[in-house]
C-alpha cells in the first residue's frame, strides 16, 4: 500500500506552484523596495517562546500547537506563527543596535493543529513583515498601504482592508468590563462557546461567526468609542495617514485578533470570494512584545498573509502563469538527436527553456508532446536539415511556418 501525506499537510505541485512563485516574488520585490530585509528563522522553537509570546489563553496556545519533547525531554513546538520567532531573533542578535528602525520580512510554513477544511490546514504558509522601533502611526499607515498594494499588484480583486483598535493596557480592561456588563444582559442568547468565553475572553464573543451571537451583540458597546486619549489619537492619526496615502479602508469595531500581544491598531484583509475563512491577511501593533520576551522596550507592528488563501484568489482572477517551453526540437534519426542535445543545452544555458525527445519516439508522438507542453515554437530536425543548415520553424501559437537558418534558432525563439 502506498504512503499518503498526513491529513492537513499539502503538496504544492507544478501547475499550482507557479502562482505561489508569482505572489512570493511580488511580495519580495515590494517589501524590499520599502526597505524590509528577509530574515530566516527556525521552524522549531522552544515551546516557552510561543506560550509567553502569543499568550496562554489564546486558541493557538491552548489547543493548536504541535508540541513534543525532544530526546532530552525539553518541550519543542513547530512554529504556529512567525512574529514570536522574529522577535526572538531581533532580541537575540541585538538588532535594535544597528538602526533605530528594523524592518524584516519572512516566509515559510507554519503549523497548527486545527480541523482541516477549505482554507484551513495543519501546515500552511505565511509571508509576513514586521517593523520594530516606530511608535508613530505613520508606520501603521505605511505598512497597511504596502500590504494593500501587494493585493492590487497581484491582480487580486475584492480584497478589503478593515481596521480596528484594541486599545492598550489602560483602556482595554475598562472596555472589557463595560462589554461584560452588556454581555451578561444577553447571555442566554449566546452560543455555548460564547457563554464559556464570557468570563475569560469576552472580546472574542464579538467576532463569533454564529448568526445568533452576532445578532445578540449588535448593540454591544464599541471599543472605538471607549479608547483612552492616547489610543484614540493614535487611531485618528492612522486613519489620517491612510487617507494621505490614498489607501481605502473600513472600520470594523468587532474585529478581535486571536493573539494576546496586539495593542492599538489591528487589521485584516478580507475577501468574500474566500467563503467562510475570509481573512487572507491579518496583523497589528504589538508595542509590549519585545519587552515581554526579554528585549529592550521597542514598539512593533506587523502582519502575516496566508499564502494558500492568497494564491487561491489568484486562480479566481484567471491569470495564466503556467510556464511553457520556448521551443520543442523534434528529431528523426540518431544524428539529429545528437544535434538536438547540443542545441537544447546551449539554449538552456542562455536561459531559454527548450525541450527535446529523449527516447526516439515517432514524430507524431513528439509533436503531441510539444503541443501538450504548450511549446511556443517547434522544429523538426532530420539528416537533410542538418546537411542544409536550415529548417522549418513552426509557430505553435499562430499556426504558421517559416524557413529559418539553424544558426539563428536562438534569436528566433527568444522573443
Residues pairing with 160 in the sheet = 270
Q: Which is nearer to ligand ATP, 231 or 282 (CB)?
A: 282
Which 3 state secondary structure label does DSSP give 374? Answer: coil
Residue 249 CB, nearest approach to ligand ATP (Å): 16
140 binds ligand ATP, rule: CB under 6 A: no
Q: What are phi and psi of 98, to 5 degrees?
A: -75, -40
Q: Which is nearer to ligand ATP, 208 or 391 (CB)?
A: 208
Helices assigned H by DSSP within 350-375: 363-373
Select from 39-47, 187-195, 237-245, 278-286 the region that touches ligand ATP (CB under 6 A).
Answer: 278-286
Q: Which is nearer to ligand ATP, 276 or 387 (CB)?
A: 276
Select from 18-26, 112-120, 313-321, 325-333 the region that touches ligand ATP (CB under 6 A).
Answer: 112-120
308 binds ligand ATP, rule: CB under 6 A: yes
Cα–Cα distance for residue pair 120/352, rounded to 1 Å = 38
Residue 325 CB, nearest approach to ligand ATP (Å): 33
Cα–Cα distance for residue pair 290/259, rounded to 1 Å = 15
Select from 121-129, 225-233, 318-326, 397-405 the region that touches ligand ATP (CB under 6 A).
Answer: 121-129
Report the residue from 36, 106, 121, 267 that binds ligand ATP according to the rule CB under 6 A: 121
Residue 203 CB, nearest approach to ligand ATP (Å): 13
Closest CA to 250 of 137, 144, 161: 161
Cβ partners under 8 Å of residue 141, min gap 6: 238, 241, 242, 244, 245, 247
Cα–Cα distance for residue pair 156/191, rounded to 1 Å = 35
Cα–Cα distance for residue pair 375/327, rounded to 1 Å = 6
Q: Which is nearer to ligand ATP, 267 or 328 (CB)?
A: 267
112 binds ligand ATP, rule: CB under 6 A: yes
C-alpha cell at 111: 503549523
How many residues form the binding site for ligand ATP (CB under 6 A)? 18
The 66-69 sheet, strands edge to edge? 44-46, 75-78, 66-69
Cα pseudo-dihedral 279, 284, 286, 290, rounded to 10: 70
Report the residue from 65, 163, 256, 281 that binds ligand ATP according to the rule CB under 6 A: 281
Residues between 257 and 276 with contacts to ligand ATP, criterion CB under 6 A: 258
Report the residue from 37, 94, 233, 277 that binds ligand ATP according to the rule CB under 6 A: 277
Residues between 331 and 350 with contacts to ligand ATP, criterion CB under 6 A: none
Q: Which is nearer to ligand ATP, 221 or 258 (CB)?
A: 258
Strands (E), 183-299: 250-251, 263-270, 279-285
306 binds ligand ATP, rule: CB under 6 A: yes
Helical (H) or strand (E) element with 379: strand 377-381
Cα–Cα distance for residue pair 330/381, rounded to 1 Å = 6
Q: Which is nearer to ligand ATP, 207 or 237 (CB)?
A: 207
Binding mask 72-111 for ligand ATP (x = CB under 6 A): ---------x------------------------------
What residue ranges bind ligand ATP (CB under 6 A)? Answer: 81, 112, 114, 119-121, 124, 126, 258, 277, 279-282, 304, 306, 308-309
Amino acid at each position: 500500500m502506498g504512503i499518503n501525506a498526513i491529513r492537513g499537510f499539502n503538496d504544492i505541485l507544478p501547475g499550482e506552484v507557479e502562482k505561489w512563485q508569482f505572489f512570493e516574488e511580488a511580495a519580495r520585490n515590494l517589501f524590499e523596495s520599502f526597505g524590509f530585509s528577509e530574515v530566516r528563522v527556525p521552524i522549531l522553537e522552544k515551546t516557552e517562546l510561543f506560550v509567553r509570546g502569543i499568550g496562554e489563553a489564546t486558541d493557538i496556545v491552548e489547543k493548536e500547537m504541535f508540541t513534543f519533547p525532544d530526546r532530552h525531554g525539553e518541550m519543542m513546538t513547530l512554529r504556529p506563527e512567525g512574529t514570536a520567532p522574529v522577535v526572538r531573533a531581533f532580541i537575540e542578535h541585538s538588532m535594535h543596535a544597528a538602526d533605530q528602525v528594523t524592518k524584516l520580512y519572512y516566509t515559510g510554513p507554519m503549523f497548527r493543529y486545527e480541523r482541516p477544511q477549505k482554507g484551513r490546514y495543519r501546515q500552511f504558509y505565511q509571508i509576513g513583515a514586521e517593523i520594530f522601533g516606530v511608535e508613530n502611526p505613520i508606520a501603521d499607515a505605511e505598512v497597511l498601504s504596502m500590504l494593500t498594494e501587494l493585493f492590487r499588484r497581484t491582480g487580486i480583486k475584492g480584497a478589503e482592508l478593515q481596521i480596528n483598535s484594541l486599545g492598550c493596557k489602560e483602556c482595554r480592561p475598562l472596555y472589557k468590563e463595560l462589554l461584560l456588563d452588556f454581555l451578561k444582559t444577553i447571555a442566554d442568547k449566546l452560543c455555548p462557546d460564547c457563554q464559556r468565553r464570557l468570563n475569560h475572553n469576552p472580546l472574542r464573543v464579538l467576532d463569533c461567526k454564529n448568526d445568533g451571537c452576532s445578532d445578540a451583540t449588535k448593540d454591544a458597546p464599541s471599543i472605538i468609542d471607549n479608547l483612552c486619549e492616547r489610543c484614540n489619537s493614535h487611531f485618528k492619526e492612522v486613519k489620517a495617514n491612510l487617507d494621505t496615502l490614498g489607501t481605502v479602508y473600513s472600520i470594523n469595531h468587532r474585529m478581535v485578533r486571536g493573539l494576546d500581544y496586539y495593542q492599538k491598531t489591528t487589521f485584516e484583509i478580507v475577501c468574500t470570494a474566500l467563503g467562510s475563512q475570509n481573512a487572507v491577511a491579518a496583523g497589528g501593533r504589538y508595542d509590549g512584545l519585545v519587552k515581554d520576551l526579554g528585549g529592550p522596550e521597542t514598539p512593533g507592528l506587523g502582519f502575516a498573509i496566508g499564502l494558500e488563501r492568497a494564491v487561491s484568489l489568484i486562480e479566481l482572477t484567471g491569470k495564466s502563469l503556467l510556464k511553457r517551453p520556448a521551443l520543442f526540437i523534434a528529431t528523426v534519426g540518431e544524428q539529429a538527436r545528437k544535434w538536438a542535445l547540443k542545441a537544447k543545452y546551449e539554449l538552456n544555458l542562455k536561459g531559454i527553456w527548450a525541450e527535446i525527445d529523449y527516447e526516439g519516439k515517432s514524430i507524431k508522438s513528439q509533436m503531441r508532446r510539444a503541443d501538450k507542453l504548450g511549446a511556443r515554437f517547434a522544429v523538426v530536425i532530420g539528416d537533410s536539415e542538418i546537411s542544409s543548415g536550415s529548417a522549418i520553424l513552426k509557430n505553435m501559437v499562430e499556426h504558421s511556418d517559416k524557413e529559418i537558418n539553424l544558426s539563428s534558432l536562438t534569436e528566433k525563439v527568444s522573443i
